[in-house]
Amino acid sequence: MTVLTHHRYGKAGVRLFTVEHRDDRHEIADLALRIALSGDFEQTYLTGDNSGVLPTDSQRNAVYALAAEHGVRSLEEFGLLLARHFLDNDPSVSSAEIHVRQAPWDRLTEQHSFVKLRDECRFTTVQATRERWSVISGVDGLSLLNSTNSEFRGFRKDVYTTLAETSDRILATHAVAGWRYAGLEHPWDKNFAQARNALMNAFTATYSRSLQQTLYEMGQAVLHACGDVDAVRLRLRNLHHLPAPLAPLGVQPPAGRQIFVATDQPYGLIEGSVARAGAQHLQVGGEPW
């Protein structure tokens, strides 16, 4: 005998672009959303009875309709609005997860011209049941590099260790950082800017003995900068830059010049969570916090 143990469904890849005219100055938001609803939906799995299933197409329409009525003030507020909408209007829904990603358009003029410079994106994940709500926000794809002030020495050696110790290396990372808010009403955009700055400043200012150490400094910096945040989760790719094989070529760069080969594969992957002492340790979205 088989049983259905877990299930959820929803719409992903929902694109929303909004313009708000404030006299001559336009504000834009360029979002992609993913909605996942859990609840009393077993029958469609087990028998194909769809009578309790709101089409994912209607979920997409809700995005447009709520954006039209309320506007998008911030990712977090809009995510909360959507989660509330599904919980309030569909008694079958016991849990809603709204994931929102924002394309990073920067202003070119004071009026209505924009440039999208960055691959980096801001995101938020709202998870809500009727009893418990959480908001996790973050940045995906923040690429940072220090061309010095990084070493890696004194590590454990085993039978397969061939890596040389180094007291000066390039430290480069592709970072995903998420932070969990302690409540549901905060100045979201201000917190985002503060957290992102804290991440960059900590990376820049840390003399690094390991990327793990830098990770912990980055997490602490977000907690220090954002009183509204009680835990930070970081996932840092260690993007290796290998010294180019110059010796066999019979060439040597002059003092002050270094030649490296940047590589994509393999890469180190360093993960960690930093929390205020006493903050709840939770599973949120399959990740330990």
Residue 56 annotated among the catalytic residues of the structure: yes
Q: CB–CB of 100/188 below 8 Å? A: no
Nearer to a copy of itself, 112 or 189 (CB): 112
Please name which of 161, 159, 155, 152 lies closest in space to residue 209, comparing C-alpha atoms.
Answer: 152
118, 32 Cβ separation under 8 angstroms: no
The least CB distance from residue 77 to a copy of itself, in Å, is 15
Q: Which of residues 215-244 bind a copy of itself (CB under 8 A)?
A: 215-216, 219-220, 223, 231, 233, 237-238, 241, 244
Angle subtended by helix axes 56-70 and 75-89, to nearest 10:
130
- Which range touches a copy of itself (CB under 8 A), out of 73-81, 102-110, 131-139, 185-193? 102-110
94 binds a copy of itself (CB under 8 A): no
> 94-111 b/e with 16+ CB inside 10 Å = b?
bbbbbbbbbbbbeeeeee
Q: Does 107 bind a copy of itself (CB under 8 A)?
A: no
- Omega within 30 of 0 (cis) for the link into 55: no
Verify binding: residue 200, a copy of itself, rule CB under 8 A: yes
How far apart, in whole angstroms, are the C-alpha atoms of residue 154 and residue 172?
20
Closest distance between a copy of itself and the C-beta of residue 19, in Å? 4
- Residue 269 interacting with a copy of itself (CB under 8 A): yes
Residue 98 interacts with a copy of itself (CB under 8 A)?
Answer: no
Q: Which residue among 18, 26, 129, 240 is the active-site one?
A: 240
Contact 191, 222 (CB under 8 A): no
- x/- site string to a copy of itself, residues 36 to 65, per CB under 8 A? x----x--xxxxxxxxxxxxxxx-xxx-xx
